[in-house]
A and B are shown apart, each in its own frame.
Chain A
Amino acid sequence: MIVYDLSPLWLSLKVAVISTFFVFVVSLALARFMTRRDFFGKSFLEALILLPLVLPPTVIGFGLIVLFGVNGPFGILLEQWFGFRVVFTWIGAAIASFVVSLPLMYQSVLAAFEKVDPRWENVARTMGVSEWRIFRTITFPLAWSGILAGLILAFARGIGEFGATLMIAGYIPGVTETIPLAIYFAYEAGDMEKALFWVLIVSSLGVAAITWVNYWRKKTAIRIGRE
């Protein structure tokens, strides 16, 4: 078997790890906020967060290039403040992955937080424990299995992002060539073997991640049952 340049694999992993980290922080903060507050326009805000789930990738890519392009508002700000460009860089790919995987993680975390019995938190509150410590020692551990499932989903989605990535990160071999882009252009060029090689790699990553989550969930469910 021919061994291909593995740079798309490393790049996909880098993009997915970094975007998943930000998805983790943002979705935890958002979900915590949303489960505890009620305000005017909450449903609308929630719809905005979930929108990328139903939008075609081209629309997401279009939106990103309008916002982060060389002449877009965020694009101009980032270039002036930090001196870096988002279009045609791996950062663009990470932003695309972030936007498409945030709703997946957000939904899992929201469901996990809602399942946590508020009585535990209230008991701690009566004892004068700080809110941050309550979150760290009660809410987060109790919601952990849902959070982890969300993390794995977000990571897998981040690796698979294609449409928006192609629009904002472009296709530069070795620089912005993620696995999905490698597959698309190998197929377009008629290189079926190369396309198949990457399809197998990305599929095994996905299957491994989902299998692990299922296995892990069953194991913890049994453990919690025993306790």
Chain B
Amino acid sequence: MKKLLGLISLTLFMSGCSDHSANPEEVLVSAASSLTEVMKEMEQQFQEVEPNIELTFNYGSSSKLRSQIEQGAPADLFLSASEQDMELLKSQQLINTDSIEPFAENQLVLASLEEFSATANFKEIVLNTEKKIAIGEPDSVPLGAYSKKALENDNLWNSLSNRLIYAKDARQVVTYVESGNAELGIIYSSDAVISREINGTLEVPGQTKPIIYPGAVIADSENQPAATAFWEFVTSSEGQAILKEYGFMPVAGETP
């Protein structure tokens, strides 16, 4: 019993030492799940420039992250895959309006483990098959909302609806395709670029608007300077080069 008590107090003591609020240089970044891979690289490179700032990431679908922020969850920087979620936070004055800036662009691709033939046509592939198609859940996951819009623009939504599998975030769609459990999936081109398993990609027609990733510093963040430092790194030419390496496109016509 004494040993157990000792162990418990030791654990409590150790956790006390790494108390987050005690370290002013800790930045909590809420990032869209499609940014998972690129942010690892981003963190490494940023650490070399600013070794005193510790980054922690919270990944999820942008709408989930947005509702977490609305409910007062701690976050210093929000990197969103959807402009709509950023707008909602802006209208509630939960973010620093001056800091909102688009930092990356993405597009939708149809992904498969096998390569598509050079003459492959998107419409023919998705219609002439019984294969399941994984997409993001259209009401709650931005990837799903974009996918639905693109399919609707091509009048494909209704004919495909009974073969669609909805995933809870962008990463889950990729996993469904990579594991072979869904033969096809509509994912971000950035996710297709970094995936070792996915060999076939085909641009999804029907995308009328580019997919823009906006970021902003959270209004009640206690680490504004540190959060801003990382945010500036992401939008700097160095950060943009990393994003490009991971399959994201620079924001077209951006005027800083």
Contact = CB atoms under 8 A, between A and B. Distances in A.
Given A65-B181, A71-B180, A171-B165, A88 B132 contact: yes
Interface in B145-201: 162, 164-168, 176, 179-182
A82 B232 CA distance: 57
A188 B166 contact: no
Nearest to A166: B168
A199 interface: no
Interface in A23-71: 65, 69-71
A13 to B, nearest CB: 22
Given A65-B179, A65-B181, A170-B176, A189 B167 contact: no
B175 to A, nearest CB: 9
Interface in A171-204: 171-173, 175, 184-185, 188-191
The bracket for how many chain B residues form the interface is 20 to 34
Contacts of A189: 63, 137, 139-140
Contacts, number: 54
A94 B154 CA distance: 36
Nearest to B163: A172
A216 to B, nearest CB: 39
A70 B181 contact: yes
30 contacts: A65-B179, A69-B179, A69-B180, A70-B180, A70-B181, A71-B179, A87-B181, A166-B168, A170-B134, A170-B165, A170-B166, A170-B167, A170-B176, A171-B166, A171-B167, A171-B168, A172-B164, A172-B165, A173-B166, A175-B162, A184-B168, A185-B140, A188-B63, A188-B141, A188-B168, A189-B63, A189-B137, A189-B140, A190-B63, A191-B139
Interface of A: 65, 69-71, 87-88, 166, 170-173, 175, 184-185, 188-191
Interface of B: 61, 63-64, 67, 132, 134, 137, 139-141, 162, 164-168, 176, 179-182
4 tightest A-B contacts by CB? A188-B140, A189-B139, A189-B140, A171-B166
